[in-house]
Structure 1
Amino acid sequence: MASPQTATKSRQTKPGSKPARKSARAASRSPDAISLLKADHKEVKSYFKQYEGLEDVAEKQALADKICRALTVHAQIEEEIYYPAARAAIDDDDLLDEAEVEHGSAKQLIAEIQAMTAADRLFDAKVTVLGEYIDHHVKEEEKEMFPESRASDLDLKALGAQLAERKAELMAKAH
């Protein structure tokens, strides 16, 4: 798999060209990387909160599917773009290693949820536990990793534009 830097190089355009101007405009409109990731966190947290209040099996199924899709895309953009950039910019391999392991656990639970229906006996429990995993993971990112990234020399604006572009691609495929 190409590194984020390699992927960027293959898409480089001439300064001042129409694609370069379009890309620059998109970057100026995009939130920085941390703002984008925090917005994702907030959105998914609201989904889990909504899920708690649901009784209808079809509504639970639809919302669980939405949660799984959002988390899958979020984890992928973090793993492809944000984590490699953060690993290069901050000196905290343990924190990044833990985040990767947490993603692995979440992905396993997502796969189990996706293989079930909302009528299955352990469905609600698995969605609840996934929410707890994600809550823990989000706290570590927002209290430790994000502040370290802000304090580093990471170009969070450019990284945010990359994340937004990749997220849009993946969400389009997911629908």
Structure 2
Amino acid sequence: MATASKKTSPRTPKPQDAIALLKADHKKVSGLFEEFQSSRSAAKKKKLVDQICMELTVHTEIEEEIFYPAVKAALKDKELVPEANVEHASIKDLIAQVKGVEPDGEMYNARVKVMSEFVKHHVKEEQNEMFPKAKKTTLDMLELGARMAARKAELLAAGG
């Protein structure tokens, strides 16, 4: 059986600009929250929450380490990035309350629900305000995206 040889290695993903990478993360986490809401199994909920926590932890880390400082400098921003960092702190507090915890009823579900709402609000502000402004700067979004993708891979390899 003949197999076609591929010119690109599976280890070299297509370069993705920073905003596309962040939007893909937003979409993934949103889907995980939706799956959580429709799940009735405690084991499934725990697995989903652990994945949500890992995804959000890695996502906030690459934003705080790489994306936000670049955007803050390029925009000379004194509002969007500080507000986003405060929102991250609230989300991290909720992550700490549910990560690795057994689903124990209404308080657990309430924490995940509030986290979902905080994340939804945060994503809306990024996508409607920060990202359009960042796109208008001279930032090299592909270079930024490559740095973020590399750091994300490092963090995921280390277990989030």
Displacement of 1:117 after TM fit?
1.4
Query: 1:68 aligned to 47, 53, 75, which one?
Result: 53
**Alpha-carbon contact 2:18-2:141 (below 8 Å) kept:** yes
**Counterpart residue type for residue 95 of structure 1:** L
Q: Which residue pairs with 1:85 in the alignment?
A: 70
- Matching of residues 4-83 of structure 1 within 5 Å: 29-83=14-68
**Counterpart residue type for residue 133 of structure 2:** E
Q: Using the aligned pairs only, state the percent identity.
A: 47
Alpha-carbon spacing, 1:87–1:27, altered in 2? closer, same or farther (3 Å): farther
Determine which structure has the larger helix proportion and give its number.
Answer: 1
Q: Normalising by structure 1, report the TM-score.
A: 0.82
Unaligned 5+ residue runs, structure 2? 1-10
**Counterpart residue type for residue 165 of structure 1:** A
Find out whether 1:149 has 2:127 as its counterpart: no
Tell me, in whole angstroms, the C-alpha distance in 1 between the residues paired with 2:100 and 2:51.
14
Q: Normalising by structure 2, report the TM-score.
A: 0.89
**Alpha-carbon contact 1:27-1:158 (below 8 Å) kept:** no
Runs of 4+ aligned residues of structure 1 deviating over 6 Å after TM superposition are none
What is the DSSP-based 3-state SS (H/G/I as helix, E as strand, rest coil) of the residue aligned with 1:122? helix
Post-superposition Cα deviations, 1:117-152, rounded to whole Å, max 9, x if no partner, equal 112541111001000000000000000000011000
Give the RMSD, CA atoms, in angstroms: 1.6
Find out whether 1:171 has 2:156 as its counterpart: yes
Aligned residue pairs total 150
**Alpha-carbon contact 2:46-2:101 (below 8 Å) kept:** no
Tell me, in whole angstroms, the C-alpha distance in 2 between the residues paired with 1:158 and 1:28.
14
Alpha-carbon spacing, 1:28–1:148, altered in 2? closer, same or farther (3 Å): farther
Query: 1:97 aligned to 82, 104, 108, which one?
Result: 82
Displacement of 1:30 after TM fit?
1.6
**Counterpart residue type for residue 87 of structure 2:** E
What is the DSSP-based 3-state SS (H/G/I as helix, E as strand, rest coil) of the residue aligned with 2:56? helix
Post-superposition Cα deviations, 1:47-93, rounded to whole Å, max 9, x if no partner, equal 00111110000000000000000000000000000000001101332
Find out whether 1:126 has 2:117 as its counterpart: no
**Counterpart residue type for residue 110 of structure 2:** A
